[in-house]
Amino acid sequence: MINNAPFKTIEHKGLTIEGYSRAAVQSCWRVPELKLGFDLGAQPWSFMGTGTWFVSHTHLDHVAALPVYVARRRMMKMDPPVIYLPEHAVDVVARLLKLFTRLDRGRLPCELVGTKPGDEIELSREHVVTVSATEHTIPSLGFVVWERRRKLKAEFQGMPGHKIRDLRLAGTDVTHETRFPVVAYLGDSTATGLDNCPAMYEASVLIMEITFVSSRHRPEKVRKFGHIHLADVVARRERFKNDLILAAHFSTRYHHRQIRSLVERALPGMLDDRLQLWM
């Protein structure tokens, strides 16, 4: 296997989360079972089979590998990918791809879809993605992937099966949709990006940034940079209902050991061992 961009992997309740994220270096995540990924700051060779991507914002550490990814899919004769990105960026990225085509002399077929807070994107019968606003230095989006199921409406529960079948055949809608947030991706944001989208706190898996962890970097200042400080997480510790919280996008100012010791000191118990430092 070609190992051009390292990443880590974790399995949780039938989903594999793969990725790597470090501020100003790269952010790139995917969930193969959901056939989607978040951000294209880098593109590990093995990720190219995933055909749908959600780009949170257009800082280079989140978007720089977009042309490379599109080119690889074409070269490997895969379908053109579908890439959702903040709507203001669509025209610029399309122009950029044209310029790369001039340099590379290779077509870059893909579908660029602009998206904005409040949008709901149907991926399949089972999965929907909702889009929320986050707070960063440039327009930036967060995404929640929901699993949906049809459930029998309360008034039909306990009714014999043949009666329900008759009702259904007569055109009565006996079911309603239930949704459960399976994966949430914050991208780059202050903690306001979490607060604005309560599903982020409820999702089974939350992928979030904690860019700054040291008290040498003042939380108020970090907020101005559009990022989360460890102190913001401590202040919200009771709100996280997630089974698994993957914290990433740490600043390169810190060493791994330093990040681990500062977080463990601030959050002893690591949110009941649900918090994992992704480095």
Q: Given the rule CB under 5 A, which residues bind Zn ion?
A: 59, 61, 188
Q: Please report how close the Cβ of residue 131 comes to Zn ion at its closest, in angstroms.
A: 17
Q: Which residue has the tokens 């029998």?
A: 152
- Nearer CB in complex with Zn ion: 61/232: 61
- Nearer CB in complex with Zn ion: 135/188: 188
Secondary structure class of 163 (helix, strand, coil):
helix
Calculate ∠ Cα 22-68-10, nearest 5°.
45
Q: Please report how close the Cβ of residue 26 comes to Zn ion at its closest, in angstroms.
A: 9
Q: Left (φ > 0), alpha (ψ -120 to 50) or beta: where does 269 sit?
A: left
- Nearer CB in complex with Zn ion: 42/200: 42
Q: Which amino acid is at 77?
A: K
Q: Please report how close the Cβ of residue 119 comes to Zn ion at its closest, in angstroms.
A: 20
How far CA 234 is from CA of 9, 179, 202, 272, 275, in Å, comes to 26, 29, 17, 13, 12
Segments in the chain forming alpha helices (H): 60-63, 66-75, 90-104, 161-169, 192-195, 199-202, 219-224, 230-235, 256-266, 270-273
Q: Please report how close the Cβ of residue 74 comes to Zn ion at its closest, in angstroms.
A: 27
Exposure string over 139-163, b if 16+ CB within 10 A, otherwise e: bbbbbbbbeeeeeeeeeeeeeeeee
- Nearer CB in complex with Zn ion: 24/271: 24
- Nearer CB in complex with Zn ion: 26/242: 26
- Cβ-in-10-Å burial (0-12, 13-18, 19+) of 268 comes to exposed
Q: Please report how close the Cβ of residue 228 comes to Zn ion at its closest, in angstroms.
A: 11
Q: Please report how close the Cβ of residue 238 comes to Zn ion at its closest, in angstroms.
A: 27
- Nearer CB in complex with Zn ion: 81/193: 193
